[in-house]
Each structure stands twice: as structure tokens, then as C-alpha cells.
Amino acid sequence: MTILFKRFAQCLLTLSPILCSPSASAQNATDPLTNAYPAKAVRIIVPYTAGGSTDILARTLGQHIGETLNQSVIIENKPGAGSNIGATYVARANPDGYTLLLGTSTALSANISLYKNLAFNPEKDFAPVILATMLPSVLLVPPSLNVRTVQELTAYLKKAAPPASYASSGSGTPSHLGVELYKRIMGLDVTHIPYKGGAPALMDLIGGQQTTFMLAILPDAAQMIQNGQLRPLAVTTATRLAAQPAWPTMAESGVADFELIGWFAIVAPANTPPTIVAKLNQAFNRALQDPVVQGKLKNLGFEIEGGSPEKLGALIRTETVKWKKVIDDANVKPD
């Protein structure tokens, strides 16, 4: 007993006590941070085609975090099924920090209510990393329509017979669900015309073909607004945009409690080690605080966010509840 006690005392007095603890030593050996994670390239899966706003965001952030992590970051596009193909791929990937998803509000909050047999659960199958950016939308009409405010549009829509129609970039997208929320708040009867993307929907709106109005993300419509091809009535954010202070919000325009913001977030497969999540969160926060990155993203219409994984987790939960009610009330079905 005396010999064992002496050895134990010597262990406590050593300058490297971790060496005396087999469990702590084993934990340290498997800690990905002490093993210099990442030891190989990190992939960011974008569930949309190359060239769109989500893809540009991924490539902008990927380049910067690659420099921070001193490792290659590969952007891989896996579009299809309303972003579910890419999201499912990441949900089933190894939880080792080498496969990430740049998910949107559609994939991470709306699709679970939109698709009956979704192959993943956003709250259970992903580990939140960071809320990267938000993207405001704007309510638009063609100049040929004689309305200049949301109040005037609402009055027009209530009197239209047969019901007027509106364009969206596809069933279940923010441009669709946002109008369904507007309809529910204001008691409107309007017909949905889904398109395969925002660009063709906006072009038909300009020409006054089929549709009367649309909620569109600002980057897609900015040039058309500037050229006078479309008239903005209101923004969908809770407060006015700093870049366009003259544009009122939907809530200011009589649509009580209305808010629609497309958001973009990084998630990893569930059970990714917290140390890896923390390191990734730090790298993405650093990228979002970089003046060059901020300048590029703000020019595209993005609003910079950042913050903790917990902030993103809370957003996913609240948005899922919000859009489930809209989808269920409007009986929204995917294309």
C-alpha cells in the first residue's frame, strides 16, 4: 500500500498530470483538435445548382475558412428535390466534420412539413454550426398595375374577379410561403403560379403574363427594380433596409406581424464532435467578420449574421413551427 501511495503522490505532483490519467490521456488522443483537424479537405455541399446566390455564398465563405483551417475546402453541388437530395446526403455522412451542408430556410425549416416522407429531420439529423447570412425579399408588381402601396394591392386583390394570381420560384420556396402568410393574415383569395426558379417568374411578371405580383429575394430583382421594370411596394424584414430606407416593411404597410427572411446556415451531420463544431464555428465567424467577405456579400444583398451554434438551433426550431402552420393551413404541396 505504501509503494502504491508513493506512486500516486508522485503522479499528482508531476508537471504533466494528464500522463497519469489513462482516461484523460485516451480522451486527449481522440480529441480532433489535438489531432490537427482538419487533416484533409472539407466539403461544403450546396443543394442547388452552381451560379446561384447559395453557391456564391458557399464559395466565398469556403475560400476564407480554407485559409483559416489551412486546408482545402471543396464546394460540391447536389441539386434536386427542393434541396432534399443534398441535405439527405449530408445527414447520412460520417459525423467527422469533413462533410457540411450550406442549408437554407427551405431545407432546414419548411421541407419537413412540405414533404410527407422526408429522409431527414433538420432538428435531429444535423448539428448546427452557424447562421451565416439572411436575405430579405421584396413585394413587387409591374408598373402596368396601378398600385403603389401594399394597402392598394390588398384592396385590389380583394376585389379582383376572378382571383388574381401571383408568381413564385417554386412550391414551398420562401416566395411561395411568404405570399401564403400574406394571404392568411389579410384574408385574401389569390392563385399560385409556381415557376422553376426566380428568374423566369420575374420575367413573366415584368411582361404582365399570368401573374400580378411576387415576393422575390432582393438580389434577383435589384437590377429590374433599378431599371424601372418592377415596382417595389415593401420589404419583408421586421425593420427597413439600411440600403433602401424609403421602402416600408410589410408590417408597416398593414400586414401585421409579417416577417419573411431567407436564411443560410452551415450544419454538420448529427453527433459531430463538439470540438469540431466549435472550431468550424470559429472559422466561419472569422470569415463573416472579414471586411472583404462582408463587402462582397453585402453587394449581393446578403445581411451578415454569425454567432453561436445555439443561435442557429433556436432559429431552426422557431421557423419550423412557423412554416408548419402556414403549410398546413394552406395545404401547400411540393411541385
| 198 compared with 316, residue with greater pLDDT | 316
Q: How far apart are CA 51 and CA 197, in angstroms?
A: 13
Mean pLDDT for the stretch of residues 49-70: 92
Q: By percentage, how much of the chain surpasses pLDDT 90?
A: 74
Q: What is the pLDDT of residues 128-176, one digit of tens each?
A: 999 999 999 999 999 999 999 999 999 999 999 999 999 998 888 899 9
* Phi, then psi, of 146 in degrees rounded to 5: -85, 60
Specify the CATH architecture of the domain 42-134+261-330.
3-Layer(aba) Sandwich (3.40)
Those residues whose C-beta lies under 8 Å from the C-beta of residue 316, and which sit 6 or more positions away, are 108, 109, 122, 123, 128, 265
Q: How far apart are CA 130 and CA 268, in angstroms?
A: 10
User: For the domain bounded by 136-235, which CATH number is listed?
Assistant: 3.40.190.10
| Amino acid at site 91 | A
pLDDT level of residue 95 (50, 70, 90 thresholds): very high
Q: What is the pLDDT of residues 72-85, one digit of tens each?
A: 999 999 998 889 99
Neighbours of 259 (CB within 10 A): 16
Residue 5 pLDDT exceeds 50: no
pLDDT level of residue 49 (50, 70, 90 thresholds): confident
* Phi, then psi, of 45 in degrees rounded to 5: -90, 125
pLDDT at residue 14, rounded to an integer: 38
| 280 compared with 24, residue with greater pLDDT | 280
Q: Output the average pLDDT for the chain.
A: 89
In contact, 105 and 174? CB cutoff 8 Å: yes
Residue 315 pLDDT exceeds 90: yes
> Matching CATH topology for 42-134+261-330 and 136-235?
yes
Mean pLDDT for the stretch of residues 248-272: 96
In contact, 57 and 86? CB cutoff 8 Å: no
Those residues whose C-beta lies under 8 Å from the C-beta of residue 166, and which sit 6 or more positions away, are 179, 190, 191, 192, 193, 211, 212, 213, 214, 215
Q: What is the pLDDT of residues 7-44, one digit of tens each?
A: 444 444 433 333 333 333 334 445 545 467 999 999 99
Mean pLDDT for the stretch of residues 259-283: 96
pLDDT at residue 197, rounded to an integer: 84
Among left, alpha and beta (phi > 0; psi -120 to 50; other), residue 35 is alpha
Residue 314 in grid coordinates: 433556436
Please give the model's pTM, rounded to 2 decimal places.
0.82
Q: What is the pLDDT of residues 168-185, one digit of tens each?
A: 988 888 999 999 999 999
Q: Which range among 45-54, 137-146, 202-211 has the greatest average pLDDT?
A: 137-146
Domain chopping of the chain, boundaries? 42-134+261-330, 136-235
Task: Please report the DSSP string for 97-137 in residue order.
Answer: SSEEEEEEHIIIIIHHHH-TT-S--TTTSEEEEEEEEEEEE
